[in-house]
Amino acid sequence: MAETILRVDALSKNFGGVRAVRDLSFDVAAGEIVGLIGPNGSGKSTTVNVLAGLLTPTSGSIILAGQPIEGLPEPARVTKGLARTFQTARVFPEFTVRQHVSIGCHAVRTVNPFASILPFGSSADDDETAAHVDHLLQLCSLASIADRPVGGISSAQQRFLMIATALAARPRVLLVDEPAAGLVEHERQELAELVRGIRSSGVAVVIIEHHMALIMALCDRIVVLNFGSKIAQGTPAEIRANPAVIDAYLGEAA
């Protein structure tokens, strides 16, 4: 069995008297795709924000590669091997696609993060970094637009760019928050192939997504939240047939 790379144990997040996440526990193995699903307001995004360090947990632990990280700030978690994307594209529109990915490489370095895009500085000649960027551009289907300004590419390409930039930091776990939002069918298929490619490289992926067909086709395991609590966990087939999951989604629809 693959090693457990991320362990979430009894994680809770309160906002005043509101318990947004309640005693949540789950594991993620290296090279595994785990889906995090649930009705609107179930605590999915709060969970990702706590895991990434944007929010401080009220209680519980987050163990990454055997080390507790719940007390670390967001940048420190990136250097430890935990990267994330956001629901909406957060990009530098004036940079080229290649420059944007290059900035992500320096998230785990001690040099100026803008050194690779300036006309001076040794990072511009770093062969290893350049090769890593080229690999990510190919993996994320961005090589053909590598020298275009980010502000001039499509919204789908910007979503793939966010993933490439996060991967540039060489994470062991990638948190992906609703990557298929706004994508059409063929773009969702490209996204699925990209996530499978990430898994093949040994990186674990935790994905939040409302597009259930994509989640069911893509994930090895799925964790289901409702009102901040885990109500089910299992394979896509097990989740599809789980009465608690069906009730949660039917309740939302009603």
Query: Does the residue 193 lie in any domain?
Result: no
73, 124: one domain = no
10, 21: one domain = yes
Query: What is d(CA 172, CA 8) in angstroms, rounded to the nearest whole number?
Result: 15
Query: Does the residue 195 lie in any domain?
Result: no
45, 164: one domain = no
User: What's the CATH number where 140 sits?
Assistant: 3.40.50.300
237, 120: one domain = no
Query: What is d(CA 4, CA 25) in angstroms, rounded to the nearest whole number?
Result: 13
Query: Does the residue 162 lie in any domain?
Result: yes
159, 119: one domain = yes
Domain assignment of residue 106, given as a range = 89-170
Query: Does the residue 23 lie in any domain?
Result: yes
Query: Does the residue 212 lie in any domain?
Result: yes
Instruction: Supply the pLDDT for residue 91.
Output: 84
124, 242: one domain = no
Q: How far is CA 105 from CA 82, 126, 129, in A?
A: 14, 11, 7
Query: What is d(CA 83, CA 175) in angstroms, rounded to the nearest whole number?
Result: 6
Local confidence pLDDT in tens for the 254 residues of the chain:
579 999 999 999 999 989 999 999 999 999 999 999 999 889 999 999 999 999 999 999 999 999 999 999 999 999 999 999 988 777 888 999 999 999 988 765 544 555 545 544 454 447 889 999 999 999 999 999 999 999 999 999 999 999 999 999 999 999 999 999 889 999 999 999 999 999 999 999 999 998 999 999 999 999 999 999 999 999 999 999 999 999 988 665 43
Query: Does the residue 207 lie in any domain?
Result: yes
- Give, to the nearest 10 degrees, the angle between helix 127-139 and helix 97-105: 120
Query: Does the residue 214 lie in any domain?
Result: yes
Instruction: Supply the pLDDT for residue 253.
Output: 46
Domains: count for the chain: 2
